[in-house]
Chains A and B, each alone.
Chain A
Amino acid sequence: MSEVKMVGLTIDGRTVRAAEGTNVLQAAEQAGISIPHFCYHPAFEAEGNCRLCLVEIEGLPKLDLACSTVVREGMIVRTSTAPVLEARKDVLEFLLAEHPLDCPICDKAGECKLQDYYDRHGLFPGWFLEAKEKRQKKISIGKGLLLDRERCILCTRCVRYLRKVTGTGELGVFERGVRAEVGTYDDAPIDNNYSGNLVDICPVGAITDTDFRFKTRAWFLEKRPTVCPRCSRGCAVIVESVSGYPLEEGERRVFRIRAGENPAVNGYWICDFGRAGRRDIDEGRQERVIKSASPESELSWQKALADVMARIRSVPGPERAAKVAVILNSRMTREELTLAKRLFAEGLSLDKIFFADPKPGAADGFLLTEERVPNARGVLQAGFSPRLPDLDALAASVEVLLVFGSHLLDHFSEEAVSRALAKIPSKFLFSAHTGPLDRLAEIVFPLAVSAEKSGTYINIDGLRQSFGRAAEPAPGVVSEHEILGCLAAGLGLNVGEHDVR
């Protein structure tokens, strides 16, 4: 590996060292000095159109752009002298002159760069006496995306994103001068699996997501990072949820999922499929333990689990290998899989350990992988050889079946599964979402989804990524980790809880 050459410069009197080729804006940021900017985005070449990042560079007659000026040895930069502050304020004045007063109803309010910078660098009384341009405020530009041309500050991040990142180029700038506007070509909609990123990179509320529009205010949202569970890429995502917000029937807890930053995996982007994972967290959730014999009764998962243990114990040790079966899945964390391995394979000596995962989809050549589970590598590393069960064989010999997840139905018809399960005396389902399997199980346990858990996934490239809880678990749910730990304890098996990795 070639060594990165470092360059020494001074920014606001501070000595800063930055890698050769870094621009002044990045170098300042690394030193904790933030230079306001709209059009610059680290994923693209500097475009230099917003003019907000002007700074003083000693030796130059005029202010120059921090976003496009590359650091030089001995360079002296000043980011908050009177001329710089004045230039900044002027740019904000220009932008706000033609900006609507939409903040009270704008989705972006609270996390809008224009609002934030006005607050920090503006705070001037308006003196625009002319009529603002009237523009279209609600243009559908693609699936789930609305464009408000009055709010657009023409930073062209969206245009560049679609040209450089997705390569689909659906957006362009049309007309010139103050009449310049962003739009699609011949009204052909934005149609790619990465369109949601446009909402993330638009520095203002010009591109909004119909799934989020008018649903809440940004400042109510708690933003926590995790790893996306919807394919084996393992993109960094941010789950934005409300906690302690009154939850009524049908009201959201998780309002959106956005791209997190991870240079080693996804850069700044996530796919729309991953973004839509918001629904997995809030919708169709299994809310409580349901025992088919007494569906109305309130039962704690611990109590219900006692039934499971009793059924397993009722099968004599030597017969368990043949008569007790479990179906796991590759959404379980590395920790849970280790626990499962020790409990089922080593502790109970089961032979019949199967896996049922969502069906693979098509990889799209960018981030989304064929595998639609996050931890297939973790399954292998835990020592499993994942395979689907043979339903007839199961039906013929098994007396107790523990099913984790509901993806048997991705591989067998509901009818075939019902027929097989009908022949098995005791079957227990552990699932985060309600589904057709529910009625076939003796007890259904409500599981946490990955955003509600902490753990580790190993992605398609073998990268281990640990994550913490990104959303408060729905009331009453339990993680596989807790279930497995409790089962092990109840069955008197030592699974080395403290060393599950």
Chain B
Amino acid sequence: MSEDAVRLIPADEGSWRLEAYLRRGGYEAARKAVTSMAPADVITEVRKAGLRGRGGAGFPAGLKWSFVPQGGAGPKYLCVNADEGEPGTFKDRAILVRNPHQLIEGMTIAAFGVGIRKAFIYVRGEYGRIAGRLREAIAEAEDEGFLGGGIFGSGFDLEVIVHLGAGAYICGEETALLESIEGRRGQPRLKPPFPAVVGLFRAPTAINNVETLANVPLIIGRGADWFLGRGLPKDGGTRLFGVSGAVRRPGLYELPMGTQLRTIIETHAGGPPEGVAIKAVIPGGLSAPALRPDELDVTMDFDALARAGSMLGSAGIIVIGDKIPILDVLKVMARFYAHESCGQCTPCRIGTSWIHKTVTRIGEGQGRASDLDHILRLADGMKGRTLCPMGDAAALPVQALVTKFRDELEKAVAR
């Protein structure tokens, strides 16, 4: 068994081709599930493996699938979230480019487990070329009978449709994604009902991130215990850590869930370049509250980061060096959320814009002593009060920067 067989991002030549995937043992797990397992056992195995969602929230995948009502005459859908809009995140892209068949196989297994016959992959608009490769992979799989009608000679069918987004971050939020596929304005829906019950075209729908699903063949092929052994007792498997910013070797690192943040930055990514010290680290995509240099001794898993007041999110690690003014980080952050808020609900629509206007004014040298307190108050007004989690996603990281780097920002305000 080559190491490539258990990696989400294999290194073998032409790894995205079907023949390469088959060489790595591909589609054996799907064959096993479809031809020899009961659907309920598939879900149970994934639950046992402690596979938590890789899209951001870390919700256990098997548990989510179990919320989709069983049986029923109407359609059910699987939606794959390949919107990957979170700044600092570039992991799903790597799977789509280097290992699309493992995603397809994971989808097949999930669809079989949940009783779904039609799936959509929602790919961010900027990944148009990558979507082409994905379509080729789907065609290859269909030709071999791994997708389409009567998969592996069973009575199980699965149709897969690739849907391109149009460049809105909010369409990565699962219910906005559904609206977008349905052809409407991409904005989140009020929950409940949850998509598992009322989802795409009002039918029960399972929504999972690309990386989440790409892990599923490993779980079914090698068992939940093996998978748990690759990560933590309740948080199984490896994780694709994307490291960007002030490091010598930025890139994607596939490491066990629970690897030390400091190890990832220092050992794997080579630490900051000569003459640069780390000022802050955003551990899980832009929406994850930043950590100070003295907070980096934390393991990279959902629970540990939550305890540290941040989140694992998309595991996109952004390292900020000491040459970068925190105000600049704040400006980028504020502009991003103000630009990407869908505008549907009051606190996020106006809060993100208000914060952006204030931060811009500070940047123009027009800061007032009260500004930082105002920003904190605005973030408080958004937190926990918005229609979708984006309100928190926008408020918490801003609040963290202002609180943790207050001294530096005070100087910028007084300038």
Interface of A with B (CB < 8 Å)? Answer: 46-52, 54, 62-63, 65, 68, 87, 90-91, 93-95, 97-98, 127-131, 133, 153-154, 172-173, 175-180
Task: Report which of A90, A97, A130 forms a contact with B361, defined as CB distance below 8 A.
Answer: A130
Pair B349/A154 contact, Cβ less than 8 Å: yes
Report B231 CB to chain A, min CB distance, Å: 28
B interface residues, tally (CB under 8 Å) = 33
Name B368's closest neighbour in chain A (CB-CB): A129
Interface residues of B in 141-158 (CB under 8 A from A): none
Residues of A within 8 A of B343 (CB): 154, 173, 175-180
Pair B347/A176 contact, Cβ less than 8 Å: no
Name A61's closest neighbour in chain B (CB-CB): B384
**Interface membership of B121, Cβ < 8 A:** no
Task: Report which of A52, A62, A91, A98 forms a contact with B384, defined as CB distance below 8 A.
Answer: A62
Name A50's closest neighbour in chain B (CB-CB): B346
Task: Report which of A87, A153, A173 forms a contact with B385, defined as CB distance below 8 A.
Answer: A87
Pair B346/A177 contact, Cβ less than 8 Å: no
Pair B358/A91 contact, Cβ less than 8 Å: no
Contacts A51-B347, A54-B385, A177-B343 known; list 15 others, CB within 8 Å.
A46-B190, A50-B345, A62-B385, A63-B385, A87-B385, A90-B347, A94-B347, A94-B349, A94-B354, A128-B354, A129-B374, A130-B357, A172-B185, A178-B343, A179-B343
Q: Which of B338, B361, B368, B384 has most chain A Cβ within 10 Å?
A: B384
Q: How far is the CA of A65 from the CA of B384 in the complex (A)?
A: 12
Pair B349/A180 contact, Cβ less than 8 Å: yes
Residues of B within 8 A of A91 (CB): 346-347, 381, 385
Pair B357/A94 contact, Cβ less than 8 Å: no
**Interface membership of B44, Cβ < 8 A:** no
Residues of A within 8 A of B361 (CB): 129-130
Task: Report which of A62, A68, A94, A133 forms a contact with B381, defined as CB distance below 8 A.
Answer: A94
Q: How far is the CA of A222 from the CA of B346 in the complex (A)?
A: 34
Q: Which of B190, B342, B349, B387 has most chain A Cβ within 10 Å?
A: B349
Residues of B within 8 A of A176 (CB): 168, 170, 187, 340-343
Pair B381/A177 contact, Cβ less than 8 Å: no
Q: How far is the CA of A49 from the CA of B381 in the complex (A)?
A: 15
Report B42 CB to chain A, min CB distance, Å: 32
A94-B384 CB under 8 A given contacts A127-B374, A176-B341? no
**Interface membership of B353, Cβ < 8 A:** yes
Q: How far is the CA of A91 from the CA of B185 in the complex (A)?
A: 24
Residues of B within 8 A of A63 (CB): 384-385
Task: Report which of B168, B338, B342, B345 forms a contact with A51, defined as CB distance below 8 A.
Answer: B345
A178-B346 CB under 8 A given contacts A51-B386, A87-B385? no
Number of A-B contacts (CB under 8 A): 100
Q: How far is the CA of A176 from the CA of B354 in the complex (A)?
A: 15
Q: How far is the CA of A150 from the CA of B370 in the complex (A)?
A: 27
Pair B358/A129 contact, Cβ less than 8 Å: yes
**Chain B interface, >50% SS class:** helix
Q: How far is the CA of A172 from the CA of B298 in the complex (A)?
A: 47
**Interface membership of B135, Cβ < 8 A:** no
Residues of A within 8 A of B139 (CB): none
Pair B338/A177 contact, Cβ less than 8 Å: yes
Q: Which of B350, B352, B370 has most chain A Cβ within 10 Å?
A: B350
Pair B185/A153 contact, Cβ less than 8 Å: no
Q: How far is the CA of A94 from the CA of B358 in the complex (A)?
A: 14
Q: How far is the CA of A51 from the CA of B381 in the complex (A)?
A: 11
Name A62's closest neighbour in chain B (CB-CB): B384
22 A–B contacts from the bound complex (CB under 8 Å): A50-B346, A63-B384, A63-B385, A68-B190, A87-B385, A90-B380, A94-B349, A97-B350, A127-B374, A129-B368, A131-B357, A173-B344, A175-B343, A177-B338, A177-B342, A177-B343, A177-B352, A178-B341, A178-B350, A180-B342, A180-B343, A180-B344
Name A52's closest neighbour in chain B (CB-CB): B346
**Interface membership of B249, Cβ < 8 A:** no
**Interface membership of B217, Cβ < 8 A:** no
**Interface membership of B88, Cβ < 8 A:** no
Q: How far is the CA of A30 from the CA of B326 in the complex (A)?
A: 52
Q: How far is the CA of A49 from the CA of B190 in the complex (A)?
A: 8
Report B88 CB to chain A, min CB distance, Å: 21
Q: How far is the CA of A396 from the CA of B380 in the complex (A)?
A: 87
Q: Which of B190, B340, B352, B386 has most chain A Cβ within 10 Å?
A: B190
A90-B350 CB under 8 A given contacts A49-B345, A130-B358, A177-B342? no
A94-B190 CB under 8 A given contacts A48-B345, A177-B338? no
Q: How far is the CA of A179 from the CA of B353 in the complex (A)?
A: 9
Report B190 CB to chain A, min CB distance, Å: 4
**Interface membership of B17, Cβ < 8 A:** no
Residues of B within 8 A of A133 (CB): 353
Residues of A within 8 A of B340 (CB): 176-177
Report A242 CB to chain B, min CB distance, Å: 36
Pair A98/B350 contact, Cβ less than 8 Å: yes
Residues of A within 8 A of B170 (CB): 176
Task: Report which of B338, B341, B342, B346 forms a contact with A94, defined as CB distance below 8 A.
Answer: B346
**Interface membership of B60, Cβ < 8 A:** no
Name B366's closest neighbour in chain A (CB-CB): A129
